[in-house]
Amino acid sequence: MKYFLIFSLVIIFTGKTIVSFAQQPNGDFNISKGLLTLSEVRIISDNSTVSATLHKVDDSNDFIFELDSITKVNNSFSHYDPNEGILYIPSITVGDEIYQKIQLEMIVPQTNPLRFRLIASEVDLKNTLKQVQALVETKPVPASGDAADDPAIWIHPLDPAKSIVIGTQKKGGLGIYDLAGKEIQYLADGNMNNVDLRYGFFLNDKKVAIVAASNRSNDSIALYKVNPESRELENIAARTIQVGVSAYGLCMYRSKPSGKYYVFINDKNGTVEQWEVIGTEDGHVDATLVRNFGVKSQVEGCVADDELGHFYLGEERVGIWKFGAEPNSGDEGKLIDTTRNGNLTPEVEGLAIYYINETDGYLIASNQGNDTYTVYNRIGDNEYLGKFQIVANEALNIDNVYDTDGIDVINVPLGESFPYGVFIAQDGENINPEENQNFKMVSWEQIAEALGLKKESSYDPRI
């Protein structure tokens, strides 16, 4: 069975070692771009795996392909064709890249290890863990231990460079930071666990951005508006909005069909409450319970898709559920991906959506257990698109991101560092130097380029 494909193999430059290839029978190797274009690939079955190491042979373009033994090749690896002298391998990991559908041509028979020349392969983008780096980290939170949790980004109406990051400090309050990570305001208003915001809420005939946070000190929904001049939060809750659950995760939803604003708040038993946010005549904001549903075990992270009307909920040890976000959507959820044979690693923590336009974009989940983030399509059945991790940025002395709880992402250009928006993640261990936890900011451009995602966005989250 033969397929004819054009594809590119990105050569990896690891340290000083430059990997190069033998003369390609059907290929075109562009040295300056580091791209190998091959015109013909034989597709082989993916149901075999083999553990092996590929070494470049000094002063030649050949590789030594090391298996445990020749016997193993003959007996347990069905894709070695002695007549052709070609070894077919389903996948090989080199550095952080995974190559699929490898064809290796034997050069010198009867040597051990066998010597092969790579004649074809294909990069497996979806299963390759991509690495990105933070460009900014925020000031550490005031409390030590596991204290920072969930960020939200507010976009300034006139000057996006003046946008702010709101971060929860679950041992005492909310920190407000500018895009350089400097603290603008700190509100010691209670043990705030999660935070989210929505724009365009009419309050006394003026549009305001509403910020909601889950306050674990008194199991309430804390409500603020953003003052665009001072870039500070102002408390606008009409009262202490006590909820019926032990307050934990929280996210907001603005309904397209009704124009109404909602807060979802959940607890460690898996119960979710949906509250409608309502303005009062004296310019405050109140909320009323409109729906109660849930799943069977601990939840926290959630996000609503305002355009498509979905509510995503992370059941930490199970996976990601998709519900309707309207109060009358019912209790039926659909599990879109799981920690069992899926693309998630428990615990599933923060969830966030990158909007490209009204329908296109990405759903991103934090896998706390292995410090990675999984990306899905927003539309349709939420196709899995890839994974990334945030490694240390040594040039800027910003440490890697570990054990992430909450995340947020925004599509709006925020100046030179973040021309296509920013992704923010809580860092569970803020080192170099050792300090309290904080939030790390990664350019969306870098994530999009690493995973082959779109970065141009026409979506305006401010309505």
Binding site for Ca ion (CB under 5 A): 146, 300, 399, 402, 405, 427-430
CB of residue 349 to Ca ion, shortest distance in Å: 5
- 206: β partners: 203
CB of residue 247 to Ca ion, shortest distance in Å: 13
Residue 177 C-alpha from the chain's centroid: 21
| C-beta of 196 vs 300, nearer to Ca ion | 300
| C-beta of 307 vs 427, nearer to Ca ion | 427
| C-beta of 167 vs 428, nearer to Ca ion | 428
CB of residue 426 to Ca ion, shortest distance in Å: 7
| C-beta of 103 vs 169, nearer to Ca ion | 169
| C-beta of 125 vs 392, nearer to Ca ion | 392
Cis peptide before 433 (omega within 30 of 0): yes
| C-beta of 411 vs 446, nearer to Ca ion | 446
| C-beta of 149 vs 307, nearer to Ca ion | 149
CB of residue 428 to Ca ion, shortest distance in Å: 5
Q: What 3-state class would DSSP assign to 378?
A: coil
Query: Distance between CA atoms of 114 and 107, rounded to whole angstroms?
Result: 8
φ/ψ of residue 71, rounded to 5: -55, -45
- 88: β partners: 103
CB of residue 318 to Ca ion, shortest distance in Å: 13
| C-beta of 92 vs 299, nearer to Ca ion | 299
CB of residue 230 to Ca ion, shortest distance in Å: 28
The token pair at 429 is 């261990």
CB of residue 191 to Ca ion, shortest distance in Å: 13
Which residue pairs from 255-261 have beta carbons closer than 8 angstroms and sit at least 24 positions apart in sequence?
Answer: 255/306, 255/309, 255/325, 255/326, 256/306, 256/307, 256/309, 257/309, 257/326, 258/326, 261/198, 261/201, 261/210
Residues 6+ apart with CB under 8 A from 207: 199, 200, 201
Question: Tokens 């069992």 label which residue?
Answer: 340
CB of residue 95 to Ca ion, shortest distance in Å: 22
DSSP string, 73-99: HHHH-TTEETTTTEEEEEEEEETTEEE
DSSP string, 202-256: EETTEEEEEEEEEETTTTEEEEEEEETTTTEEEE-BSS-EE-SS----EEEEE-T
Single-letter code of the amino acid located at 209: A
φ/ψ of residue 115, rounded to 5: -110, 125
